[in-house]
Amino acid sequence: MSADLAFAPVADLARMIARKEVSPVEVVRVHLERIAALDATLRAYITVCDEAALAAARAAESALAAGRPVGALHGVPVALKDLYDTAGVRTTGGSKILADRVPEADATVVRRLKEAGAIVLGKLHMVEFAYGPEGLNAHHGAPRNPWDAAAARMPGGSSSGSGVAVAAGLAPAALGSDTGGSIRIPASLCGITGLKPTYGRVSRAGVLPLAWSMDHVGPMTRTVADSALLLRVMAGYDPADATTSVLPVPDYLAALSGDVKGLRVGLLRSFFLESATPEVRAAVETAAKALEKAGAILDEVALPAVAHVGAASYAVVASEALAYHTGWLKSRPTDYDPEVRKRLQLGAFITGAHYVRGQQVRALVRNEVDAALARRDVLLAPATPLTAPRLDERQTTLGDGPSEVRGALIRLTRPFNFSGHPACAVPCGFSTGGLPIGMQLVGRPFDEATVLRAADAYQRLTDWHTRRPVLA
Amino acid sequence: MDAVFDLATLRGAARVAGFTWTDEELEALRPVIQASLRLLATLDTLPLDAVEPTTQYRIL
């Protein structure tokens, strides 16, 4: 029963709790027990809110007993990447600089989750200030990928703890953030679902920034349906974030029909499939065929401008990150992880003209993705071109030649941070070494419903998302 | 041919950006700065003159 509850989908937990088939106290306790048993090895959590979570669970139980109306996530535990402000609970950004920072208010999305009845289990490990895709952290140590914890493989980052916690049954759902792929990379490497919504769909208010114009926040879950459920709660206009849209938030769960007949899917071969390792390429091609067999209309499409995203997004991210960190970089330089400090320092050698060039390329990429989606409903590509590398691995070989691991990890996700389109990563296979392989589906702006419908339909055709890592 | 920047140039550029970094730090950064400037120079080769930069995001 304990393992079943730990790996039960959010939707099932919410339903069972609402029907009083299971107590929210039991659900929270099961997760706290797993955290106590496994997290010394996996290192998913920076802060566990055990007493507060149990108190909230008891209150949730009382509300049900009293017959009070409850929200969509009533009694369901969730965990948060440690860059979401939480009132009264420290929010470190994975850093030494903010090690003792305790916000007075919740981030908007945290408040919305709580209003829907969710219970915060704790705060999750992350790359310092979200600046890196491997999942490394010099201050707190790196979380371990649960699919091969013994070999110390990367969980992916920067939402490293979020990926590990959800994959290992230490939380039914987590929130991550994604500036170059930081939701989809750990989702891909840890074998879970990760949704980066459209820029402007979900409020970033109260979330520590890396690069304002590239940052997206979203859910990380084991099923697409659970991401749909969380997105419905999280999304919508927020006066505290001027970039949020006033478009109404649809019922994403209702969009999950399981039907992909006539859905037009554009397979991204050039740059995307071509750079993947043979195992990743084969898994994504097989997934494309599965969708086609289910009635989708498959073709191939190219996005030539993405070849320039590396340079252009570097100009944008490094400039924005330096702008945010200038004060601490001057006053507390030695409190940064040296690698993160170096990345920030490089921003000082980027000119305003470079930044604008980057934004020009951004317009090209956005227009190109829009054009590809004018005649298709979704685009399909690997989420990462490789499976989880070892923590000490710095160089790798991709389908198109040697590459630094860091660049390889963000290569296929970053274009859609740059363009702002919604993208959902889901598991689509396992390597011969037993490591998860992830693919991503990309959709039109604010059309998360179609992205989620396609991804959910794929999960109804396959069982990759139901597999669990073997943990000691 | 890549431009090669000496320490004095990097020191000056850092100061313009508001930072005073040691020569040791700048020396360690120098190869990475060279690589990043090489990367950024690729943007100058693109036909972007007629492209309006994304200055306002697509908010509906």
pLDDT single digits (tens) A359-382: 999 999 999 999 999 999 999 999
Q: Which of A241, A319, A349, A362 has the most B C-beta neighbours within 10 Å, making it the best mutation to test the interface with B?
A: A349
CB neighbour burial string for A241-262, b if at least 16 within 10 angstroms, e if fewer: bebbbebebbebbebbeeebee
* Burial (CB count <10 Å: 0-12, 13-18, 19+), residue A358: buried
Does residue B2 form part of some domain?
no
How many domains are contained in chain B? Answer: 1
Band (pLDDT 50/70/90 cuts) for residue A396 is very high
State the residue range of the domain holding B39: 7-45
> For the residues of chain B, what is the DSSP string, one character each?
------HHHHHHHHHHTT----HHHHHHHHHHHHHHHHHHHGGGGS--TTPPP--S----
Does residue B21 form part of some domain?
yes
Residues of B in contact with A345 (CB under 8 A): 19, 21, 25, 29
> What's the token pair of residue A343?
């990345």
Q: For A316-353, write each residue's pLDDT tens digit.
A: 999 999 999 999 999 999 999 999 999 999 999 999 99
Does residue B55 form part of some domain?
no
Does residue B1 form part of some domain?
no
The model's pTM: 0.97
What is the torsional sign of CA A56, A60, A66, A68?
positive
Does residue B29 form part of some domain?
yes
pLDDT at A69: 85
What residue type is A113 in one-letter code? L
ipTM score of the complex?
A: 0.93
Which ranges of A68-215 does DSSP label H, i.e. alpha helix?
108-115, 160-167, 184-190
Does residue B36 form part of some domain?
yes
**Residues of chain B that touch chain A, judged by Cβ-Cβ distance less than 8 Å:** 10, 13-14, 17-19, 21, 25, 28-29, 32-33, 36-37, 39-40, 42-44, 46, 48, 51-55, 57-60
Residues of B in contact with A244 (CB under 8 A): 59
Do A362 and B25 count as a contact with CB atoms less than 8 A apart?
Answer: no
Does residue B50 form part of some domain?
no
| DSSP 8-state symbol, A307 | G
Residue A201: half-sphere exposure toward Cβ, Cα within 13 Å: 28
Closest by alpha carbon to A84, among A162, A176, A210? A176
> For the residues of A431-467, what is the DSSP string, one character each?
-TTS-EEEEEEEESTT-HHHHHHHHHHHHHH--GGG-
Band (pLDDT 50/70/90 cuts) for residue A212 is very high
3-class DSSP state for residue A417? helix
> Does the pLDDT at position B44 exceed 80?
yes
Q: For A189-210, write each residue's pLDDT tens digit.
A: 999 999 999 999 999 999 999 9
Does residue B12 form part of some domain?
yes
